[in-house]
Amino acid sequence: MAPGNLDLNTIGRMQKEEQFKSRIRRIRYGIIIFTLISFVIFIIIAALAVINEGLSDFIGNLLRINLYYMAAALGAVFLSYAMRFPKWHIYLKQLKVRLDLKKSFLIYMSMYSMDLTPGRWGRAVVSFTINKITGAKFGRTFPAVVADNFTDFAGFAAVAIVAAFFVNKYILLSVVLIVLMFLPFIFLYMDRPFRYLRRRFGESKRLAGFFKAGNLYFRNNRMLDRKAYLYSMVFTVPSVILIGIALYFVILGFGVSLSPSYLPIVIFIYCSSTLLGMASGVPGTLGVTDAALLGYLSIMLPIGFGVVAAVTILFRIATVWFVELFGFISLVFTFRYWN
């Protein structure tokens, strides 16, 4: 009997490992597809610039980027994401998950390798990593992922609204889009819809795992108090502003003379274009944010279209692919915890 049980356990473990590997392959394929989409988008932007400016002028614009300003932009982007780490650590602490700072930081940064997944929910991979280290179940740590996503958007929304009021443009549109973007979080913070589903379909064996994880999620989610969310804003709001500053650095890098008085407008351009991309539901806001950036920069700043196209391409490289790069490197380092 014992050997047979061992064989069954081994088979079950192998099946789970194969299922996990299959999910990883799907994620990789998804990232490759989104990479190709982004590349096509950049090609389209470059083609428009070439048609408008001429090939030599466009290439000249790209080549005259000041590398010091570009480095400053990349530094601002990295700092923006790294400075959000304290809120993540406080979430884990309130959920009674114990990790040393080095592991916690590495796991947190690995989340950003999944920012091209729909709704960024691929970030849940960190719950799997934490499970391998501490044994904490997925439903116990997933509230930290939800809280991190929610507070990221809440801080972004706050900056977007203030920026819209400052420039006195698209205020109503910004408010409507932000409200719509908040709606999905209702189902993650209010358990009434979940309880209704459990009453209706609780007897289903196929959904047993879902309801078990849901019960654990909502029970642990209550452990995150209001102070944790308010504490998060202290780090999230400045981190959003830093991304706007990164866009400002990229613009300056092309020799455009913009006084610091333009900074609120630049932050508004970043927030509004990103908000439109978020509302589209496209992973990584690919395409929509790029097009919105082109439009806003051309209309609201004294910059030629050729420079605008170059700024858009390099800024999106900094905020999408540079982020994916350090997120992926962190993810690779966390693989050691999966064994």
97 within 8 A of 141, measured Cβ to Cβ: yes
Say how many C-beta atoms besides its own lie within 10 A of residue 132's C-beta.
15
The Cα 316–Cα 274 span in angstroms is: 11
> Element (H or E) spanning 8, and its range?
helix 2-53
Other residues' Cβ atoms within 10 Å of the Cβ of residue 160: 25
How far apart are the two ends of the chain, measured CA to CA in Å?
A: 28
pLDDT digits (tens, 9 = 90+) for 90-107: 999 888 888 888 899 999
Q: How far is C-alpha 302 from the geometric centre of its chain's CA atoms? A: 30
Distance in angstroms (rounded) separating the CA atoms of residues 306 and 50: 8
Higher pLDDT, 181 or 56: 181
Q: What is the mean pLDDT of the chain?
A: 82
Question: Which alpha helices (H) appear in 168-225, and where do they start and end?
Answer: 171-189, 192-201, 208-221
Quick one: what percent of the chain has pLDDT higher than 70? 80
The residue range of the domain holding 283 is: 2-190+224-338
Q: Give me the mean pLDDT over the 199-208 stretch.
A: 78
Banded model confidence at residue 1, pLDDT cuts 50, 70, 90: very low
Instruction: Report residue 319 as tokens.
Output: 């905020």
| Domain contains 215 | no
Identify residue 131 by its one-letter amino acid code. N
pLDDT at 38: 61
More confident residue, 270 or 182: 270
Least confident of 136-145, 182-191, 295-304: 182-191
| Beta carbons of 118 and 27 less than 8 angstroms apart | no
Between 11 and 325, the more confident residue is 325
pLDDT at residue 2 in the model: 46
pLDDT at 292 exceeding the cut of 80: yes
Helix 125-134, helix 101-110: angle, nearest 10: 150
Quick check: is 124 in a domain? yes
pLDDT the model gives residue 305 = 78
Cα separation values, 299 from 57, 201, 294, 302, 303, Å: 21, 53, 9, 8, 9
Q: How far apart are CA 155 and CA 238, in angstroms?
A: 8
Residue 160 lies in a domain: yes
Write the pLDDT tens digit of every residue in 13-44.
666 667 666 666 666 566 566 666 666 766 77
Predicted confidence (pLDDT) per residue in 161-177, tens digit: 999 888 888 888 888 88
Could you tell me if residue 282 is inside a domain? yes
| Domain assignment of residue 201, yes or no | no
Asked if residue 199 belongs to a domain, the reply is: no
Cβ pair 55, 297 in contact under 8 A: no
Residue 209 lies in a domain: no
Entry field: residues in the chain: 339
How many domains does one find in the chain? 1
Q: How far is CA 311 from CA 14, 176, 297, 304, in A?
A: 49, 28, 9, 11
Q: Tell me whether residue 29 is in a domain.
A: yes
Burial of 287 (0-12, 13-18, 19+ CB in 10 A): middle
Q: What is the pLDDT of residue 171?
A: 83
* pTM > 0.85: no
